[in-house]
Structure 1
Amino acid sequence: MTVKSMTGFSASDGVHAETRWQWEGRSVNGRNLELRFRMPPGFDGLERDARQRCQDVLGRGNCSISLRIQREAITTEIRLNEASLRQALAVAKAASELAAMPPPTLDSLLAMRGVVETVDAQESDEARKVLEAALLAGLDQMLEGLAAARAAEGERLAAIVHGQLDEIAGLVEKITGAASRQPQVIADRLAEQIARLTEGDTALDPERLHQEAVLLASKADVQEELDRLRAHIGAARSLLEEPGPTGRKLEFLAQEFNREANTICSKANDIEVSHAGLALKSVIDQFREQVANIE
């Protein structure tokens, strides 16, 4: 079974060195493939590669992709600001001479603001590339899970749609076998109507009556619509077995199904065909709702 849904969710967690992350992906039905990313500050550059990987896996749907980053510990470095220390020494020496007091100790000088600095360690380009490669591998894992979720939902959808096609086929055969579609039945009904209107006057030409019955039967004939419905059913079943996205083609077929059902209802000349036509429209509407979720 190759049917895939556009609805799914997946998440993947990972860790590299001092960095933890989590990818999340959610998708719902959409006309085309629309990707929206939420990336943490400093990782916006990943979006281009992430977008390409999503396009390689997903065919259609509105997809939201998010990345959360957590640094377990931040490596820091303690640096001596030599220029500030020289200035502090010069000021301390001048103050010591003016006050006739011993100069301050080294501890006092190092405690002065700006002499000793604590800064975050700079991440090398190579370390950054290794981290980004690990993040993209985590994205691939999340996309694999999302594709699997969409495929599992697709199997469920396919079973429902096949059942709806079976219902449509059954209603088509019911209308095909309706007694009211037989020309003789139409002729008898027409004769009854004419007899009722003319109060039993038999002056009407039987041949003309037959011609009118044939004309009425041709106007009420739905054979072409039934034939097209059978063709649409076959086309839909074939699409459900095709690889790749077929949802838009199935949506188009749903419109064609509905058009034929409307024509059958408009031509219905008895209660049996009318009820079957309305049931047909109901099943087709359910079919349309389901295929709207197929990729």
Structure 2
Amino acid sequence: MGIRSMTGFGRAEGRVGPYDVVVEAKSVNHRFLEVSVRLPRDWSFAEVAVRDRVRGQLQRGRVDIAVSLAGTGAAAGQVYVDWALVDALVEADQTLCHKLGVPFDPRSARQWLTFPGAVSVRPAALSEEEAVSSLGDLVNAAIDKLVAMREREGGDLARACAGYLEDVAAHLRAIRQRAPASVAAYRASLLARVSELGISVDDARLAQEVALFADRVAIDEELVRLEAHVQAMRSDLERAEPVGRRLDFLVQEMHREVNTIASKSQDAEISRHVVEMKALIEKLREQAQNVE
């Protein structure tokens, strides 16, 4: 198992006491782990347990957990009729018919069941301990599916990053090969300029100037560090534990080293490789931001 992305979705259905329940889990990029939980009314007692289940399986990302009841009505509770209210309404109906001199139709009495407060559905009895346990199992099932999706996307991210790293390494090899030639090119340019001006320059003075230039444009240390960062990122892409923050750090350090090479180098070919590496490292940064 390799890296995971921070984007995923999972869904689970099951019973929690007398209720049919659906749990949906969604996650997107976030610097830290942020968990949002939406529960049915009167189920707030389960929020802490749900959050703990999520934190037990995920380390980064904004995670939204939505718990909803699949059914309503008598199946989800007990029907309660306020017969005293209904009886009073029917009696009032009979009295009104008598005053108006019209016959009372007993069949019309059913209409009073629709009167506000006459009929209600009371929630079915639910043990909090049973609810927390059963709901926690459904949350785990939804998170398992979310994690499976994050692992599949993580595989895609790892392959993309590996390709970008291979390209960065190729540019590094080209720069390392070109670096000595850039000093020789500077020496040749300096000699040509001296010849053009028709002046004589002491060989020792010329050698000193070339040595100073070579020291100013030396990028060996930057290349070594950049190569180490590339290798470290390759290793991290194979790890099972969350490495998103490490990848963020490595990308920042790679940017730093490439910018230093850009500021030191005065060679057009090296500058071209630097531009290409900057573009590749930016792509790595975009991918790393979605790694858990």
- Alignment correspondent of 2:140: 140
Where in structure 2 are the equivalents of 1:10-29 lying within 5 Å?
A: 10-15=10-15, 18-29=18-29
Tell me the distance in 1 between the aligned counterparts of 2:83 and 2:283: 74
Tell me the distance in 1 between the aligned counterparts of 2:179 and 2:2: 40
For 2:203, give the aligned amino acid. P
The partner residue of 2:278 within 268, 276, 281 is 281
Tell me the distance in 1 between the aligned counterparts of 2:123 and 2:233: 59
- With over 3 angstroms needed to count, the CA separation of the structure-2 counterparts of 1:138 and 1:9, relative to structure 1, is same
Tell me the distance in 2 between the aligned counterparts of 1:175 and 1:210: 24
The partner residue of 1:271 within 264, 268, 272 is 268
Where in structure 2 are the equivalents of 1:100-179 lying within 5 Å?
A: 120=121, 123-124=124-125, 126=127, 129-178=129-178
Kindly name which structure, 1 or 2, has the bigger radius of gyration based on alpha carbons: 1
- With over 3 angstroms needed to count, the CA separation of the structure-2 counterparts of 1:287 and 1:125, relative to structure 1, is closer
Verify the 8 A CA contact 1:180 1:270 in the aligned structure 2: no
- With over 3 angstroms needed to count, the CA separation of the structure-2 counterparts of 1:79 and 1:279, relative to structure 1, is closer
- Alignment correspondent of 1:242: 239
Q: How many residue pairs are counted as aligned between the two chains?
A: 263
- Normalising by structure 2, we get a TM-score of 0.81
Query: Which runs of 5 or more structure 2 residues have no equivalent in the other structure?
Result: 92-105, 113-117
Verify the 8 A CA contact 1:11 1:23 in the aligned structure 2: yes
Where in structure 2 are the equivalents of 1:33-112 lying within 5 Å?
A: 33-74=33-74, 75-76=78-79
Quote the offset at 1:181 in angstroms: 3.7
The partner residue of 2:226 within 214, 229, 234 is 229
Tell me the distance in 1 between the aligned counterparts of 2:203 and 2:231: 43
Quote the offset at 1:136 in angstroms: 2.1
- State the Cα deviation string for residues 157-207 of structure 1 (Å, max 9, x = none): 0001111111110010010111664543332122123333x2x22x21112
Share of identical aligned residues, percent? 31
Query: Which runs of 5 or more structure 1 residues have no equivalent in the other structure?
Result: 89-106
- Normalising by structure 1, we get a TM-score of 0.80
Tell me the distance in 1 between the aligned counterparts of 2:31 and 2:271: 34
